[in-house]
Structure 1
Amino acid sequence: MAQKLPPQAQRLRIIIVTVPIMGATAYVLYDRLVNEKPQRTLPPRTGPEAHGRIGDFMPEQAHHHPPPSKDV
């Protein structure tokens, strides 16, 4: 396991990670608000693959389970 960082090093790590994210977000917002650039969107999905689920990793047959047996 990694050695625990002192508080000053933790602050520096947070700054190094956070500042680029804030800069990129500010740039995108500036483009939208000042330059009136439209928001990027994904093209609409059509056809049989437009089922509304995100991340379909299994074939369609694997999503359907047989009904449980009633052996009671």
Structure 2
Amino acid sequence: MAPFLEEVSGFSRPTLGLPLFVFGVAAAIRDFAAGPIASAAVGLALLAVVLSAMASAGQTKAGAVIGW
């Protein structure tokens, strides 16, 4: 993941810790929230998947941080 963030998103080696930490926290939140959201409202779950996929493109620093 580090090479992707360096080459595609433009992060430098010393600043990689923050996006990787944000990724870990976001993944944990996503894992705990996905079940209740999916069972409560399929539309919200679909919206979350679409927005996550769009942000995961990672073509910008903001997209890389938000999507990962």
TM surpasses 0.5: no
Q: Which has the larger radius of gyration?
A: 1
Q: What's the TM-score, normalizing by structure 1?
A: 0.31
Q: Which has the higher helix share?
A: 2
